[in-house]
Structure 1
Amino acid sequence: MSWIDLLRMSISNLRRRKLRTFLTVLGVVIGTASIVVMISLGLGMQESLYREVEQSGGLTMVKVRGKQAGDTMMYSGDQEKESEKYVKDDTIEELEKLPHVTFVTPVYSTQVMFLKGKYEGYGELVAMNPEGLKAQNIELASGSLPKTNTSHLDLVYGNGIPTMFYEKGSGKGYYDTGELPEIDFAKDPIFMILDQEGYMNQQENSAGGALGGSGADTGESSGGSGREAQAKTVEKHVVMASGIVAGDVDTYNANYYNIYCDLDTLKQMLKKEFAGRAIPGQPTTKSGKPYKEFCYSYAQVKVDELDQVNAVAEMIRGMGYEVETNAEYLETMKSQFAIVQAVLGGIGAVSLLVAAIGIANTMMMSIYERTKEIGVMKVLGCRLSNIRTMFLVEAAAIGLIGGAVGNLLSFGMSGVINFITGSGAAMGFDGNISYIPWWLVLLSMGFAVLVGVTAGYFPARRAMRLSPLAAIRSE
């Protein structure tokens, strides 16, 4: 009996009992869709991690942290292991001299406040030199990276910055009203305040003056005048956008909440405004005076080869600094994602196991109903291997059809999940939370066919062992 004849008979047998075949295929569809969607969730998280690492300079980028400076909150490590050294200009020079180091960029991060009409907002200002900004691989929707050697500060706004603006009176923002501020961040000039403490004091003094106008009659005005004089030194810097990070407010990425600017320009502004005072995020002496050298939040070191990252990291640790590498971070997260994928895949595999039991049941019922047919085939000289192959082809066909339809269903379910979660933004992911690569489609279909063949193997062996005479006499 040829393969064409076997295939024709198998398809004919499946079509004879449409409802039973449909229900069995439906079990495979549900099992395949479950396992694909479950694994796709783990793959989506992994792809988001890869994009985040790429936006942080790639696997050859090393982050060097020193002693926490002032009020900066950038340090996230164990406080007991914090370095006793600050990251300063001489630190940058030391790091640049290390072997396999391509470049080093200092980074200064500070919280700033923005004012525009009836709105006020807050954000994390991240200052780097041009080389460091390019290494961030920032995808811009419009404009360019900040210009250097200018008298004014150009900013690159993260695409999530509009959500950080609130109405002054009500204090309501995007997450309260669902409406973005009426500000064109690409074109409108905005006031930026570096001295937030001074600005808050000014606001409090203004409110106090309005409520207690009789202070001059009670002899309390002198102290208030001193505070007001200090508050009036707060500068409102007019800033413009040089670029906007690609994506809308529902598209999360590593640059979502950041605002980037040129480091040298910001340092000049800080030193001018805070002359004689400690700059925010900078250490002070025991007497409270400003530290004589400018200290950075951290430094980014670019290594020429991936194989040299660990060696460079150990050299920097030997210098007394804390080191974080994207490669170490990625390896740690990959091991965690492997566990997540195994658990999710196992949950989906249970559904496919139930489908396998359904296939085995269908094949056994088919054998009981076709006993006489099997006996006739044996009497006519059909080989046992042909009978076995016929049943295995039927089981494989159920797995193949169920796997194909299950994958189509999984694409639909994945699309719904990504739509509901706003392409992962609702859960803090960069990109889709569910990601189905083509290799997963092929692997799941192959697995569904394998499950079908495995489930149909023992019924096929039973069909081979039927006695021809007993089969013919059976009703």
Structure 2
Amino acid sequence: MLFKDQIAFVRQHIRKNKMRVFMTVLAATIGCAFLIVLASVGFGIQQTMNNEILQDEQVTRIQFYDQNATTEDLDKIKQQDHVKAVLKHTTVHYDVTASLKDRDVYTTNSFYDMKDYQAVKGKLFAGTYPKNDKEVIVGYHFAQGLLNEKERNAISDAELNVKEGEQVDYSKYGYQGDIIGQTISVAFKDQGEEGQTLTETFKVVGVTDKPSYDWQRDTSLIFSDQALPMIEKTFTKTEDNISAEYVIHVDHMENVMPLLKKLKDDGYHVYSVLEQMDQINMFFFVFKAGLIFVGTIAVLISSIGIFNTMTMAVTERTREIGVLKAIGASPKLIQRLFLMESAFIGILGTVLAVILSYIISIIVNITMPLILQAATNEDTFTKQAFVFSVIPWQLVVIAATISIGVAMISGWRPARKATKIDVIQALRQEL
């Protein structure tokens, strides 16, 4: 029997039992779609978390924690391939308040070598980099954070009276003029027993770029490290009040992990957020495997329907099988015909399941942020790139292999039964 004749034979018998085959295909479709959609949640959450990490400029940074590092150590690191700069970041651990006329803001501070800092950061949102110890760069929201008592009370009232589903417009508060060129007063206050306070004036010469996320507020102050001596004259320098860390900036994310491994092999204490990503990926590998296992159970349940359909097909076609054997059909051919029928059910169910899964995935990604926004009254889920369901081609291949494989296994036993039917008994069966 030619292959096209085998196909025609299978199609003929499928047409005879359209409703039964339809229900069996439907069961296979639901089982396979459940597997894909369930596993797609794991892929979606993983992609969202990875995107959150990758969108942060921290991915090209390596934290260097060796406080006893010498100049020779730093020079050695700077000479490594793919290293853009080794940036020293100094922080004064005191309460810092910046004031402009009757306005003030509680803020954070950082001290850098401005030449290295400019090489890493590039162009500012506005202004220039400090050229001496009396100039400072401010965060993107610094001016907006400069509030007086009247505005603070107005904000408190607005937050108490805000209507459901609405948000307070903070942009209309704060200093509304051009912050560049203004002279601000910065107070460093020790809350310890000594209670020392240092107040100095600085000229604002630059503003940093807008943060990556809308919810982030940057009111920080960034000084040249030339300003450190005036701090150290007032406060005793210890690791508790003035600390420094080194940040290694790498040219590209792909070069971070090889460099990190080399530095660790050389005995340096270093860390990168990409190490965290490796741990996250390992967790999600196990998580997705668990989801696929649970989804496979649904496919196995649907295989019961395929088994019953094929068993009934063999019983109903006993006389046909006897005729085929009588005219010389081999047991392998008969087995192949029934396996082709079960494979058809599996393939058709898988194709429909993949189409249905993509439709469900699109609907979930559109509706879930809206549902969560309505439930929490927060627009974070609609503004940020949250992905709840992702169906990569690898998942489709895994699901298709499992679904079609289970369909073939379900049809194998009935197909084997068909090859063992006695010819004489089959031909005696009444039509």
1:169 and 2:169 matched: no
SS of 1:407 mapped into structure 2 = helix
- Cα drift, residue 301 of structure 1: 4.7
For residue 323 of structure 2, the aligned residue among 355, 371, 376 is: 376
1:349 and 2:296 matched: yes
The residue identity in structure 2 corresponding to 1:333 is: I
Q: Structure 1 CA distance, aligned partners of 2:344 and 2:297?
A: 21
**Alignment-derived partner of residue 171 in structure 2:** 183
For residue 80 of structure 2, the aligned residue among 91, 100, 118 is: 100
Whether contact under 8 Å (1:59, 1:306) holds in the other structure is: no
Whether contact under 8 Å (1:105, 1:131) holds in the other structure is: no
Q: Structure 1 CA distance, aligned partners of 2:384 and 2:205?
A: 30
* 1:444-455 alignment runs, 5 A limit: 444-455=399-410
Give deviations 1:48-67, integer Å, cap 9, x for gaps: 4543453455877422246x
* 1:73-112 alignment runs, 5 A limit: 85=67, 94-98=73-77, 100=80, 102=83, 103-107=85-89
Q: Structure 2 CA distance, aligned partners of 1:361 and 1:407?
A: 24
Give deviations 1:128-184, integer Å, cap 9, x for gaps: 7244447xxxxxxxx965654255636457xxx9xxx99332545999744252638
**Alignment-derived partner of residue 140 in structure 1:** none
CA RMSD of aligned residues (A): 4.9
Gapped runs of 5+ residues in structure 1?
A: 67-84, 135-142, 199-226, 250-255
Give deviations 1:50-109, integer Å, cap 9, x for gaps: 43453455877422246xxxxxxxxxxxxxxxxxx48xxx76874342352612224467
The residue identity in structure 1 corresponding to 2:62 is: V
The residue identity in structure 1 corresponding to 2:365 is: N
Gapped runs of 5+ residues in structure 2?
A: 146-151, 190-194, 373-379
**Alignment-derived partner of residue 315 in structure 1:** 266
Task: Sort the Cα spacing of 1:335 and 1:242 in 2 relative to 1 into closer, same or farther, 3 A.
Answer: closer
Percent of paired sites with the same residue? 23
* 1:66-465 alignment runs, 5 A limit: 85=67, 94-98=73-77, 100=80, 102=83, 103-107=85-89, 129-133=117-121, 148-149=128-129, 153=137, 155=139, 167-171=155-159, 177-179=165-167, 181=169, 183=171, 243-244=209-210, 257=216, 259=218, 263-264=222-223, 285=238, 291=242, 295-296=243-244, 299-302=247-250, 306-315=257-266, 317=268, 322-422=269-369, 426=381, 431-465=386-420
- Cα drift, residue 298 of structure 1: 5.4
Give deviations 1:268-326, integer Å, cap 9, x for gaps: 78998x79766xxxx8559x9x65xxx34652353867434223034353xxxx53234
Give deviations 1:238-289, integer Å, cap 9, x for gaps: 8986644567x5xxxxxx6364979446x678998x79766xxxx8559x9x
**Alignment-derived partner of residue 34 in structure 1:** 34
Task: Sort the Cα spacing of 1:130 and 1:464 in 2 relative to 1 into closer, same or farther, 3 A.
Answer: farther
Q: Structure 1 CA distance, aligned partners of 2:361 and 2:386?
A: 13
**Alignment-derived partner of residue 222 in structure 1:** none
**Alignment-derived partner of residue 376 in structure 2:** none
TM-score normalised over the length of structure 2: 0.69
SS of 2:250 mapped into structure 1 = strand
Give deviations 1:204-251, integer Å, cap 9, x for gaps: xxxxxxxxxxxxxxxxxxxxxxx9xx99x799998986644567x5xx
Task: Sort the Cα spacing of 1:26 and 1:127 in 2 relative to 1 into closer, same or farther, 3 A.
Answer: farther
Q: Structure 1 CA distance, aligned partners of 2:358 and 2:23?
A: 21
- Cα drift, residue 429 of structure 1: 8.8
SS of 1:153 mapped into structure 2 = strand
**Alignment-derived partner of residue 216 in structure 1:** none
Task: Sort the Cα spacing of 1:363 and 1:57 in 2 relative to 1 into closer, same or farther, 3 A.
Answer: same
Whether contact under 8 Å (1:147, 1:154) holds in the other structure is: no
Whether contact under 8 Å (2:109, 2:222) holds in the other structure is: no
Whether contact under 8 Å (1:374, 1:471) holds in the other structure is: yes
Give deviations 1:2-49, integer Å, cap 9, x for gaps: 211211221232232222212211221122112212322222333345
- Cα drift, residue 378 of structure 1: 2.1
The residue identity in structure 1 corresponding to 2:278 is: E
Q: Structure 2 CA distance, aligned partners of 1:234 and 1:421?
A: 51
SS of 2:157 mapped into structure 1 = coil
- Cα drift, residue 379 of structure 1: 2.1
1:46 and 2:30 matched: no
The residue identity in structure 1 corresponding to 2:216 is: Y
TM-score normalised over the length of structure 1: 0.64
Whether contact under 8 Å (1:100, 1:305) holds in the other structure is: no
Task: Sort the Cα spacing of 1:8 and 1:130 in 2 relative to 1 into closer, same or farther, 3 A.
Answer: farther
Q: Structure 2 CA distance, aligned partners of 1:121 and 1:11?
A: 78
Q: Structure 1 CA distance, aligned partners of 2:365 and 2:267?
A: 42
Q: Which moved more, 1:404-413 or 1:324-333?
A: 324-333
Task: Sort the Cα spacing of 1:457 and 1:260 in 2 relative to 1 into closer, same or farther, 3 A.
Answer: farther
How many pairs are equivalent?
385
- Cα drift, residue 459 of structure 1: 0.8
